[in-house]
A and B are shown apart, each in its own frame.
Chain A
């Protein structure tokens, strides 16, 4: 999709010949170079401008303590906001399309996926050894290594380090692990000011929302939502929703906070046992600012992030951004092995349920996940319902199989938010059988009596039919003719979630079984 006609014309109209090449822009103000629309980082491959009429941003799932999260209810409210839903759907499908483009450009793509999966499975089945090796090497480099059983302990350790240094402000780059740990709210309670430096994550922090996507945290918001938010928090003009102006306003507002921060924090994409170093991937360079401007750097690392050697890192770096954004690499891939001169570096290794997950025979391979978000971008349910509808740290297909390990009851209905089409498994760069695990979680929920009444009644009826082939065939014949003849109010009733927001397909005139019987006997 490079070089859309209209983009090039606008670029030329803007005077590509007389001005520096990078100042040429496309129809939606994206940069154009050598006549080609740039689409690196998370840039869209075509203009996706939202309409100017303001539509209030739909909010996420209603969280009530330990009560079961109702994803369907929140998704219905997202769908009821057509501008938000359309942008979300278009934008994520565009990332999926860009990912496909990158995949086709690399002949060894499937081999890389197989390697990535094998390296992760090897590491996870020897995790104690590699964690030990990582720790030894990190310590030898002068890194302080800490271990945290859970989110609370992680937060306490970080707070302790900050207290020891008299640190009051902390700049940080995006980390899903710190979201798991409830890090920002903990730090707010103990009086530490946390400043997110990733644009999307900062937007979410200012709006007091969780990230809705592991890679593009504010993807569910429209430019108008951001303009309104920045007007409140950064004093910008609420009527100015020019994306360049909004991004620049954030840059200008955040920069002094970066320069003055007492400490910096990053996550970690890969921890290398061989070197004792961490690797962090960002497009904005904000992890490097967080690690390199303040004297003190703290990295939060999930214990499943470790990989054996540098040569394995090549496999994952080649897959990560291509799978996530359809870009060959992130703008910055940073390898940090120890403190710089005069600085101090801490690594907090966090379990938070990971070691227990290793014991789950059907689910342990979910620990292979490298948080690229490809499964979310391809998922028809996720694209139409928004990440916040899941009411959990992780959303989309990967969320459906990870969230229940944190709280089986609260997230018991999530595994049902899938059509089991399997696209998630097909795009996963580390070959997690996501859709099979979703299905297996449904069984777990049924066995643990975590089904809602409507689902239970429907399952029971279906169970009887599916166990009796003859009965099933009669039922199908009746259902097909009924589907074609039934009045709409019967199909699109409140009890039938599948009838909501979609047209039921025309039922075939005849079932395959009866067609086969008829044609077999005729021949």
Chain B
């Protein structure tokens, strides 16, 4: 008898003979705020993330141009930003270890928690979310859901093998509760509001 069969047999023999129906889970969205973007921003700040507020009429990429220009290695998986490290040249995930700034587009965001959802398709190489020192995430402000109940109804979770919520940067407070940004992953996470289908930039 295999361990699989022995474990399942033991489970069956020991199952509590009780009627425990599976409950319906409500969406808990009755008191959704008027502006999902405002709630998202506040949640993101509380989780240590940054949000770029654009002046009206400002070129959406202008606020990050200076940072990108100052960085030695920029690797972008988003069509709107061009870096100097091509993802197509990456042979192994560790090749991204020297990246200063990674850029990726979020599939959507969650207002309740300040999370952005990144998929394997958006990341191209999954380690792009973790090995760079800093991460810039492009988000279409219309791609925000109110809470996690709505988030888990999204199709992304049934597509591909890797989907992740990033909520602010990598953090730890394992020593005396002192909060540190950049435990093993990115030191900062910046969300830049940029509608999809924006024209590619010449950066």
Contact = CB atoms under 8 A, between A and B. Distances in A.
Given A338-B161, A359-B14, A147 B3 contact: yes
Nearest to A201: B174
Given A42-B174, A283-B170, A303 B7 contact: yes
Contact of A30 (B15, B127, B178): B178
A361 B163 CA distance: 38
Interface string B89-114: 00001100100000000000000111
A328 interface: yes
Interface string B1-28: 0111011101111111111111101101
Interface in B16-42: 16-23, 25-26, 28, 31
B148 A331 contact: no
Contacts, number: 293
Interface stretch (B54-62, B68-76, B180-188, B192-200): B180-188
Given A40-B47, A251-B183, A132 B8 contact: yes
Nearest to A337: B161
B185 to A, nearest CB: 3
Interface string A27-66: 0111101101011111110001110000000000000000
B149 A314 contact: yes
Contact of A286 (B17, B28, B183): B183
Contact of B7 (A41, A149, A222): A149
A246 B183 CA distance: 11
B201 interface: no
Contact of B126 (A254, A260, A292, A349): A292
A248 B183 CA distance: 8
A259 B4 CA distance: 34
A156 to B, nearest CB: 11
Contacts of A440: none
Given A41-B179, A288-B130, A340-B161, A218 B174 contact: yes
Interface in A283-316: 283-286, 288-289, 291-293, 303, 308, 310-315
A236 interface: no
Interface stretch (A74-82, A117-125, A394-402, A463-471): A117-125
Interface residues of A, number: 109
Interface stretch (B77-85, B136-144, B150-158): B150-158
A283 B113 contact: no
A164 interface: no
B172 A283 contact: yes
Given A247-B180, A288-B126, A329-B167, A308 B11 contact: no
Q: How large is the interface on B (under 10, 10 to 19, 20 to 34, 35 or more residues)?
A: 35 or more
Nearest to A254: B184
Contacts of A317: 148
B25 A332 contact: no
Contacts of B166: 331-332
Contacts of A339: 161
Contact of B164 (A29, A286, A335): A335
A505 to B, nearest CB: 32
Interface stretch (A175-183, A192-200, A452-460, A477-485): A192-200
A207 interface: no
A87 B8 contact: no
A203 B173 CA distance: 13
Interface stretch (A350-358, A408-416, A428-436, A511-519): A350-358
Contacts of B120: 340
Contacts of B153: 310-311
A22 B184 contact: no
Contacts of B31: 107
Given A124-B16, A127-B11, A243-B176, 19 more contacts: A34-B45, A44-B177, A94-B177, A118-B21, A126-B15, A128-B15, A149-B3, A149-B6, A149-B7, A217-B174, A247-B180, A285-B130, A292-B93, A292-B130, A315-B25, A318-B148, A334-B163, A334-B164, A356-B14
Interface of B: 2-4, 6-8, 10-23, 25-26, 28, 31, 43, 45-48, 50, 93-94, 97, 112-115, 120, 126-127, 129-131, 147-149, 151-153, 157-158, 160-186, 188
Interface of A: 21-22, 28-31, 33-34, 36, 38-44, 48-50, 87, 91, 94, 107-108, 111, 115, 118-119, 121-122, 124-128, 131-132, 141, 147-149, 153, 197-200, 203, 216-219, 221-223, 226, 243-244, 246-248, 251, 254-255, 258-260, 275, 277, 283-286, 288-289, 291-293, 303, 308, 310-315, 317-318, 327-340, 349, 351, 355-356, 358-359, 361, 364
26 contacts: A31-B48, A31-B181, A38-B48, A38-B179, A40-B168, A41-B179, A44-B177, A216-B174, A259-B97, A283-B172, A283-B183, A286-B185, A291-B126, A308-B22, A313-B152, A314-B25, A328-B114, A330-B167, A331-B167, A333-B115, A333-B167, A337-B160, A337-B161, A337-B162, A340-B120, A359-B13
